[in-house]
A and B are shown apart, each in its own frame.
Chain A
């Protein structure tokens, strides 16, 4: 069964450093998403991406965040200058139009 994959599974970084989280969505999917889940809290929407541009973004997704689909398979989330409060589990998701949204296993980001 096709699945969304994410790398790395765990990323540790120093405050102020840039991180790139990588995702490979399911190949025939058209919409791509990033969500985050701070430990013990709900899953929160960050951004959606379609046709090589951002469709919608949340208030969390400020100028420190960016997304890119650099080739036909990868979808990345970059945090330019990480803060302590960016520590969370980051989930990538994808779907076809108006269909089930599939989530990846997540990347745990720890900012020290």
Chain B
């Protein structure tokens, strides 16, 4: 089955700097890669996703890149703000109508004011 690895497990950046979180996946059939943000006491919330027919996607300060050949994808957050502090999970799935998500191990991002 699919296996998703995520690095780093913790990341601290100064407010205003950029943060990068990286994930690799094992199943070449995976074609959908969402990123979720989990704040304390809440469920994961989708912040951005990318499909395998696209190499990069941006939404304001957040971007995701995908390298299908190398089977890795990354989350980039620019101009970080204190409210970006949370745990971030990458995930992978095969988009077919039954979206069983395989999650990475999570990255605890702390923004230092």
Stretch at the interface among A14-22, A44-52, A62-70, A75-83: A44-52
Chain B residues whose C-beta falls within 8 Å of the C-beta of A106 in the assembled complex = 42-43
Q: How many residues on chain A are close to B (CB under 8 Å)? A: 25
Q: How far is the CB of B97 from chain A (nearest CB, A)?
A: 5
Stretch at the interface among B53-61, B67-75, B76-84, B101-109: B101-109
Number of A-B contacts (CB under 8 A): 56
Interface residues of A in 1-39 (CB under 8 A from B): 4, 31, 33, 35
**A41, A95, A105: which contacts B99 (Cβ < 8 A)?**
A95
Interface residues on B, range: 20 to 34
Chain B residues whose C-beta falls within 8 Å of the C-beta of A60 in the assembled complex = none
Q: How far is the CB of A72 from chain B (nearest CB, A)?
A: 21
Q: How far is the CB of A30 from chain B (nearest CB, A)?
A: 9
Tell me whether A98 and B99 are in contact (CB under 8 A). Answer: yes
Interface residues of B in 16-45 (CB under 8 A from A): 34, 36, 41-45
Does any Cβ of A come within 8 Å of B95's Cβ? yes
Chain B residues whose C-beta falls within 8 Å of the C-beta of A44 in the assembled complex = 103
Given contacts A42-B105, A91-B43, contact A98 B100 (CB under 8 A): no
Tell me whether B43 and A48 are in contact (CB under 8 A). Answer: no
Tell me whether A43 and B103 are in contact (CB under 8 A). Answer: yes
Q: What are 6 A-B pairs at a CB distance below 8 A?
A: A42-B103, A42-B106, A43-B101, A91-B44, A100-B46, A101-B101
For the complex of A and B, 8 pairs with smallest distance between CB atoms: A103-B43, A43-B103, A55-B98, A42-B105, A42-B103, A97-B97, A103-B44, A105-B43
